[in-house]
Amino acid sequence: MVILVPGGAGFIGSHTCVALLEAGHEVVVADNLCNSKAEVLDRVATITGKKVTFYQIDVTDAEAVNAVMAKHSFNGVIHFAGFKAVAESVEKPLLYYYNNLVSTMVLAQACLKHGVKRFVFSSSATVYGANKVPFVETMALLPPASPYGHTKAMSERILMDLVEANPDWSVMLLRYFNPVGAHPSGLIGEAPTGIPNNLMPYITRVAAGKLARLRIFGNDYPTVDGTGVRDYIHVVDLAEGHVAALNKPAKGVQIYNLGTGRGTSVLQLVHAFEEANGIKVPYEIVARRPGDIAECYADVSKAERELGWKAKRGLVDMCRDAWRFEKNYYVKD
């Protein structure tokens, strides 16, 4: 298949480009590089030995998107382009609603115009709100805790309504849990600018001596050790989940959780990182972070049953690969 990948230079997108190319698909990336670098796509080519066609465009720009669509004969779109920092979305809600919703509408509109009927969307576990774990696809959604979360829930709604009106479309809503790690080559990974918001890149920065210590947000949650529990998934497993989703011939809306089904606490992840890499990660316990929930992990049986996909990599792989990427690209800067 020929796949348009908006946001393909980013963390999850770049790993998915690798998985798509390795599975024999052709990949065209559209990215404005607002949170990534073009050289990532050179590294994707180095890993796979295959070329990626790249357009530096903003996918909220309908004219630019239509021009790309007119140049290729796409079989599908996997839409990663969006803003993802939860706290920033609270401070700048309009920025988030505009970028995340307009990109989805512009891309979907262009698909209608150019007869592309397969659309895969990067959704998030945040759409479950404070439901009871494990989160199952059939649950009624509760309000997400941030504008970012609302952009995901609204994008899902827009795409569902579009399928209602166009029953020959196939829309896959993939709800990611906590993607971490990096490609085992150490060439691509998660490279946030500034001080990381997420746990794993913060841990690797502390391990590299770039930040003094990890701040653990609360140890009084009703969890195994009081710290927050999440479902960490290796980004390469997540990328492979997209290939599995594309392989499923389906009409209508399909929703899948992409996680491991296992909950890991912050302290458990810190200790796993220390053991996997033989490095101490100094930490202190501080107050809870506003908007955090105690536990978030997936019921993954639907993806396994219907897509034949299951996360294969464990915490040790996630910690080793994240650290290898940090060492390759950031220790010396």
Report, as residue numbers or ranges, the catalytic residues: 148
- Using CB under 6 A as the criterion, what x/- string covers residues 3-32 for binding ligand NAD? ---xx-xxxxx-----------------xx
Rounded CA separation 125/314 (Å): 20
Q: Is 99 in the site for ligand NAD (CB under 6 A)?
A: yes
Q: Which does 199 bind (CB under 5 to 8 A by kind): ligand UDP, ligand NAD, none?
A: ligand UDP
Please, which of residues 45-64 interact with ligand NAD by CB under 6 A?
58-60
DSSP 209: T
Six-digit token string for 142: 């509760």
Q: At what angle do helices 315-329 and 266-277 cross, to 10 degrees?
A: 70
Minimum distance, C-beta of residue 88 to ligand NAD, in the bound complex (Å): 11
Q: Is 33 in the site for ligand NAD (CB under 6 A)?
A: yes
Minimum distance, C-beta of residue 172 to ligand UDP, in the bound complex (Å): 21
* Helix H or strand E segment including 28: strand 26-30
Q: Which is nearer to ligand UDP, 28 or 270 (CB)?
A: 270
* Helix H or strand E segment including 76: strand 76-79
Q: Is 277 in the site for ligand NAD (CB under 6 A)?
A: no
Q: Which is nearer to ligand NAD, 34 or 316 (CB)?
A: 34
Residue whose pair of structure tokens reads 């209602």 in the numeric block: 164
Gap between the terminal Cα atoms of the chain: 39
Contact 102, 94 (CB under 8 A): no
Q: Is 128 in the site for ligand UDP (CB under 6 A)?
A: no
Rounded CA separation 80/9 (Å): 9
Residues that bind ligand NAD (CB under 6 A): 6-7, 9-13, 31-36, 58-60, 80-82, 84, 99, 103, 122, 124, 176, 178-179
